[in-house]
Amino acid sequence: MHFSRSEIKTSQNTSKAVANNSGSAGRSMPAVPVLQQKPAQKTEGEQQENQAETEGQPLQLKEDSFAGEGVVQREVVNKKNDGTELGAVAEEFFNHVNELAQNAYKFAVNAPGLGPYAGLDGYTELWKEKWDMHLAGLPVPLMAATFGYVVESLVSNVLGPFRPTPPGGYTIYYQVVVGGTRPDLVLRKSDTGEDVAWIDLTAAESGGHIFDKDNWDKKVPRYAEVVYPSLSPGTLMLMRANRDNVSAGLTQEEFEEQKKQVEEAYALKKAQWMEMGKNYQYGVLKNQIPAAPMLLEIRPDLKQNFIKDRLQQDFGVEEINIGLIPSILSAMGVLSGPWGFGLGTSSSRAAGEVWLTEHDPAPPTIPENETGIVEENIN
């Protein structure tokens, strides 16, 4: 018994494959009575957990392999299984979906505009809208959460390019409501309808939230949480470099090497931005503001306009949208509050990093001085 690898096809071919209800490797795919419901909207707390683009660190991915599938990401966690024959089927199901989830993540990173799948469902459409905003340098709320929904849609939508293929005699159901919970994927025996295993797809930053579900232990004998990497600033930088791609044409090894190089470049840039930010701290510049301290307390706009003018001058740009200033300051490690941007001000470090990437000086070099000591040039 083997689960076939799902391949990326065009939207037209994917639709035909579903319409014809045929699987790969000559195996007939059982009719899937899919409940075409959107994935359950996560709580605000879960969405905030997923906002890795503002505070996250690049995730080091682990590699392993299993028979017949080459190098894959082994990210099946928080698993419950047994040693029965159905347990073996469930184990293969977990590994199969895991490989597809990692490939869906790689596709979304390498082709962030999603190519022909941008209109797959409401979640991919929302991501495309937010992605375009991000490229325009605008603050984007809950971007990491939206990215996560895209990865999950690519796997758990019946028209998705990474949807899993069941073995003969089994059926995969999507987004099935069971009491107060909704597993992303449910594997059932086709003849009896018995639940064999459930899967929850989750971003790594939110790993473990399967235990917040409505008592899965008592509802199904086998389940697993399949996690994919959360969105990080380094990954966002790689995605911006891939903005014109419409397909993922890299091997896993090439993808990992490219991601490593971009994350190293991001780390250097971030260190440079943090050093630059020391020059924009309110305590450093406050005495240069041409206004009395008491006036500044009641006129925050004076402080806002001062730092705006200073940034425009230093970076050689004619105009910076005032609403983007808190994001630029955040990307340089500078608190925007002392500069008059109070509570409720929209700020996104990722948006600030996009702006800095397009306007900052060249990446720092590491020259060697006359004493032989290596020092970083951030000027």
Same domain, 16 and 163: yes
Give me the mean pLDDT over the 63-92 stretch. Answer: 61
Query: How distant is the alpha carbon of residue 72 from its chain centre?
Result: 18
Same domain, 183 and 289: no
CA dist 226 and 95 (Å) reads: 9
Using DSSP bridges, classify how beta strands 195-203 and 223-228 pair: parallel, antiparallel or unpaired: parallel
Per-residue pLDDT at 176 exceeds 60: yes
Structure tokens at 11: 């939207």
Same domain, 142 and 64: yes
Q: Which of the pair, 188 or 65, is modelled with greater confidence?
A: 188
Residue 21 in any domain: the answer is: yes
Residue 377 in any domain: the answer is: no
Residue 6 in any domain: the answer is: no
Same domain, 176 and 232: yes
Same domain, 108 and 129: yes
What's the domain range around 194? 11-249
CB 71 within 8 A of CB 252: yes
pLDDT-based confidence at residue 178 (cuts at 50, 70, 90): confident
Same domain, 219 and 333: no
Residue 365 in any domain: the answer is: no
CB 176 within 8 A of CB 186: yes
pLDDT-based confidence at residue 213 (cuts at 50, 70, 90): low
Same domain, 215 and 349: no
pLDDT-based confidence at residue 365 (cuts at 50, 70, 90): very low
Read off the pLDDT of residues 246-295 as tens digits, 9 standing for 90 and up: 776 666 677 677 777 777 888 888 899 999 999 999 999 999 999 999 99
This prediction has a pTM of: 0.59
Residue 183 in any domain: the answer is: yes
Same domain, 26 and 152: yes
Residue 34 in any domain: the answer is: yes
Same domain, 305 and 191: no
Residue 368 in any domain: the answer is: no
For the chain, what percent of residues have pLDDT higher than 70?
70
Contact partners, residue 222, CB within 8 Å, separation at least 6: 80, 81, 82, 86, 87, 90, 196, 197, 198
Give me the mean pLDDT over the 208-237 stretch. Answer: 81
Per-residue pLDDT at 45 exceeds 50: no
Same domain, 77 and 29: yes
Per-residue pLDDT at 51 exceeds 90: no
Read off the pLDDT of residues 134-159 as tens digits, 9 standing for 90 and up: 998 888 888 999 999 999 999 988 78
- In the prediction, which pLDDT does 77 show? 60
For the chain, what percent of residues have pLDDT higher than 90?
35
Q: Please return the burial class of 378, using the count of CB atoms within 10 Å of its CB with bins 0-12, 13-18 and 19+.
A: middle
Read off the pLDDT of residues 107-121 as tens digits, 9 standing for 90 and up: 999 999 998 888 888
Q: What total number of domains does the chain contain?
A: 2
Residue 108 in any domain: the answer is: yes
Strand ranges of the sheet holding 195-203, from the earlier edge strand across to the other edge: 76-80, 223-228, 195-203, 185-189, 170-174
Give me the mean pLDDT over the 78-93 stretch. Answer: 86
- Domain boundary residue among 188, 223, 249? 249
Q: Per-residue b/e over 9-26, b at no fewer than 16 CB within 10 Å?
A: eeeeebeebbeeeebeee
Same domain, 140 and 33: yes
How many alpha carbons fall within 13 Å on the CB side of residue 21?
A: 8
Same domain, 25 and 103: yes
- In the prediction, which pLDDT does 63 show? 28
